[in-house]
């Protein structure tokens, strides 16, 4: 017995949220209906603004393809980011050298390193550098390059040259999105590029993603989930996504918010 449109709609949107893309043939087989029925479903959902119909299927509407300015991002999911940052900082040992990617969550790592005087921080984020200069007792290395005023970071050939001279124990990267189809993504190509370089220069990479990032794909790919081994998220991360991570041998660590 085939599902009603409303039930098909619910499942189609669930698939899109999880994978970022659906295909007509696969949906027709899944729901035991004709491909014409699925095409009509997708056209209807497209007209409702729920997805974007493409040849052979549909993709998730990317209303979030533009990243907010850095100062505005600090106000979003602040408690969750603080918990993730604190958990990440607990993974850093005295004597470690760490790279911190751009993002408000990586700023929270620095706030929890006030007693780590034997740690070296490497970052291309101007806000992270300035915060570290205020409260962090260890060594700070700032990666220079072309300045992105919007996100207050550096990137480009000069950044690559500096990163090529360094090798670190751990890299912490904030994800713009986490998708089964597109993997780990960022809003800007330059940020995705420097994140990949930081991954290359580290013994271990830990991704930071609050629960709102799952099922989302932003503009630029950092890496596929095949290249991900550890993710730190918050307590709102769904059991479904925890299972997806487990099925791919990805360790997902949950940071609880403080009362």
pLDDT band at 97 (very low <50, low <70, confident <90, very high): very high
pLDDT band at 259 (very low <50, low <70, confident <90, very high): very low
% of the chain residues with pLDDT over 90:
68
Q: Do 112 and 182 fall within a single domain?
A: yes
For residue 219, pLDDT beyond 70: yes
Q: Do 21 and 98 fall within a single domain?
A: no
Q: Do 197 and 241 fall within a single domain?
A: yes
Q: Do 173 and 136 fall within a single domain?
A: yes
Q: Do 191 and 243 fall within a single domain?
A: yes
Q: Do 33 and 85 fall within a single domain?
A: no
The domain of 36 spans 5-60
Q: Do 31 and 142 fall within a single domain?
A: no
**pLDDT of res. 207:** 98
Q: Do 76 and 195 fall within a single domain?
A: yes
What's this model's pTM, rounded to 2 decimal places? 0.76
CB-CB neighbours of 211 under 10 Å: 18
Q: Do 55 and 77 fall within a single domain?
A: no
pLDDT in tens, 101-113: 998 999 999 999 9
What average pLDDT does range 80-102 have in this prediction? 97
Q: Do 185 and 235 fall within a single domain?
A: yes
Residue 28 is assigned to a structural domain of this protein: yes
**pLDDT of res. 215:** 84
CATH (domain of 30): 1.10.10.10
Residue 65 is assigned to a structural domain of this protein: no
What's the chain's average pLDDT? 90
Q: Do 115 and 36 fall within a single domain?
A: no
pLDDT in tens, 243-252: 999 999 999 9
What's the number of domains the chain is made of?
Answer: 2
């Amino acid at each position: 017995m085939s599902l009603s449109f409303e039930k098909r709609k619910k499942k189609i949107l669930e698939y899109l949220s999880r994978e970022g893309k659906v295909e007509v043939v696969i949906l027709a087989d899944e729901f035991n209906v004709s491909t014409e029925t699925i095409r009509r479903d997708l056209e209807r959902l497209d007209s409702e603004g729920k997805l974007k119909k493409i040849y052979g299927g549909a993709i998730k509407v990317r209303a979030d393809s533009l990243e907010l300015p850095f100062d505005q991002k600090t106000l979003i999911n602040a408690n969750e980011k603080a918990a993730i940052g604190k958990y990440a900082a607990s993974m850093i040992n005295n004597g470690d050298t760490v790279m911190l990617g751009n993002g408000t969550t990586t700023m929270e790592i620095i706030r929890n390193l006030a007693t780590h005087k034997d740690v070296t921080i490497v970052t291309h984020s101007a806000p992270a550098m300035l915060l570290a200069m205020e409260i962090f007792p260890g060594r700070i290395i700032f990666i220079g390059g072309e300045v992105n005023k919007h996100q207050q970071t550096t990137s480009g050939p000069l950044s690559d040259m500096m990163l090529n001279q360094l090798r670190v124990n751990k890299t912490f990267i904030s994800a713009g999105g986490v998708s089964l189809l597109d993997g780990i993504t960022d809003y800007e190509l330059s940020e995705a590029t420097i994140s990949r370089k930081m991954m290359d220069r580290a013994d271990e990479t830990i991704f930071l993603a609050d629960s709102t990032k799952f099922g989302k794909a932003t503009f630029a790919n950092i890496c596929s989930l095949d290249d991900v081994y550890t993710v730190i998220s918050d307590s709102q991360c769904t059991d479904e996504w925890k299972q997806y991570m487990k099925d791919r041998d990805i360790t997902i660590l949950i940071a609880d918010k403080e009362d």
